[in-house]
Amino acid sequence: MKCPKCGAPSDYLYANNGDKGQYQCKVCSCLFSDKNRFSKEAILKCPHCSKTLDKIKERKDFDVFKCKNDDCPYYQKKLNGMSSKEKKQFKKDPQSFKLRYIFRQFHIDFQPLSKNSPELPVVDLSRIYASPHTLGLILTYHVNYGLSARRTAALMQDVHGVAISK
């Protein structure tokens, strides 16, 4: 087990309340439990069929996700839109065609950005315990669509399955 905030190994962790499952890190004094609230991750779904996307590749700067649903409207539309010559080639070499919905999730490190800022932010980014992708979704809903904090939290729960506080 590691500390979810600073990554300290189990030698620096101790059971804070006995066997009830709460732990405290001796390095950063972070309290956490087995149900890790620090790794809130949005569930990625296909916008066409609402099925969960499968991670197919991991690259240095991003991960690639693909919809593997054969009944996906996006896939069916692309498949039906092929000519007979393309269909014959598809049967021989299916990996040469991009028919399925593909999503790339980029990894952005916010720490270098916060050091170069001339103004100190009101919100301390080190205290936000969600992934950068989840944080981006929250900010998109709140700022771009003008939703209140309560509605943003409800939307994150309903659409992405991530429970956040208001």
Name the helix (H) or strand (E) containing 80. helix 73-80
Nearest 5°: phi and psi at 117?
-75, 130
| Three-state secondary structure call for residue 68 | coil
Note the pLDDT of residue 54: 92
pLDDT in tens, the chain (166 residues): 788 778 888 888 887 766 667 888 888 888 877 665 555 567 788 989 989 999 999 988 889 999 999 999 999 999 999 999 999 998 999 888 889 999 988 877 666 655 666 666 676 666 677 777 788 888 888 888 888 889 988 988 888 888 887 7
Note the pLDDT of residue 34: 66
| Three-state secondary structure call for residue 92 | helix
Note the pLDDT of residue 69: 93
Note the pLDDT of residue 140: 83
Note the pLDDT of residue 14: 81
The CA R_g of the chain, rounded to the nearest whole Å, is 21
Note the pLDDT of residue 73: 94
Residue 26 and residue 8: Cα distance in Å, rounded? 9
